[in-house]
Chains A and B, each alone.
Chain A
């Protein structure tokens, strides 16, 4: 099982779409709200060099935004 972390803000719609995608495919993920969790925010910025959400970490591979084809590839999900 892949270890997935998703860095989010509560108002970000692409974060919601990404989470729904994982749920639909029965994939467990850990959500980190970068507004409440300052450590997570620093971690996200350090990993992605981005000031934008979502950032998705799939086993150490960093995806900026909800890069569906990239994530499907990383998780070896067929179309």
Chain B
């Protein structure tokens, strides 16, 4: 029986692990990887105390800092799949068949990429449908591509594609894209770039690889078809909260609702931090700070229960 199980190896999970170890809380951290979603970033310039760091290096820094703590147990190759109430504790089940017990649980499982959920997307994943533009943009040299999503992630995908693609369409569902104007200006300066607003993808075509896409022009209600070879999906994230959804209150997006003073959820033994929580701003630094808050609150709770 652990005092605390932490789920996640991003900035939130690691910060929690370090604080828990220093408080000598008997803790287990479970993750399948370190670094969180910033892992694929080529350059992070806002991790406080560090002028510039790649996502991979940040992941290594986090992992190393955690592993130098005494007393913390780490499982680095597993995922939590279920949480159950047992007498005066919680039962935790994992993908690899582990069953564990803990007094308290801190969920820092983050979020994952949202998918379009339209015909052809799943079938052509990796065959022209791309979710990591920094990884795969160079493979689309001389090709016609579409970026889906007019937020900053969509704009960044456009920037990644500029040196390679022959033509880049950026499809935004609303009337105005929400990303930063500075980045958009860099894109619109290129004759290769074309912004399509009020455009909603409906179907992806292709046999072996992507060959086209159908989208709804929401202004005219017309369905239009374009020939292209690449579709870069950048439409935000969904929280990894499914495994605990029936134990805690979530909002309509699936974010776990917390008391923002303590990070406590609606369940008396469960706390949540970072992108899986209903925090207003999803940021590495905020996840780390909120995790510290959560662990200090759990520490108080443990002392109270032992008093």
Could you list which residues of chain A lie within 8 angstroms of chain B, going by C-beta atoms?
9-17, 34-35, 41, 49-53, 64, 79
Contact = CB atoms under 8 A, between A and B. Distances in A.
B139 A34 contact: yes
Interface of B: 39-40, 42, 54-56, 77, 126-128, 130, 132, 134-141, 160, 208-209, 230
Contacts of A49: 127, 208
A16 B126 CA distance: 19
A44 B266 CA distance: 50
B138 A11 contact: yes
Main secondary structure, interface of A, reads: loop
A51 B127 CA distance: 5
24 contacts: A9-B138, A11-B42, A11-B135, A11-B138, A11-B160, A13-B40, A13-B54, A13-B134, A14-B40, A15-B135, A17-B56, A35-B141, A41-B139, A49-B127, A51-B126, A51-B128, A51-B209, A51-B230, A52-B126, A52-B130, A52-B139, A53-B135, A53-B139, A79-B77
Contacts of B134: 11-13
Contacts of B141: 35
Q: Which 5 residue pairs across A and B have the least CB separation, nearest first?
A: A12-B135, A35-B138, A52-B126, A50-B126, A9-B138
Given A12-B134, A13-B56, A51 B42 contact: no
Nearest to A11: B134
Contacts of B230: 51
A9 B139 contact: yes
B280 to A, nearest CB: 28
A41 B135 CA distance: 14
From A16, A35, A49, A51, residue with most partner B Cβ within 10 Å: A51
Given A9-B135, A13-B42, A13-B55, 16 more contacts: A11-B134, A11-B135, A11-B137, A13-B54, A14-B40, A14-B135, A15-B135, A16-B56, A17-B56, A49-B208, A51-B126, A51-B209, A52-B130, A52-B135, A53-B135, A79-B77
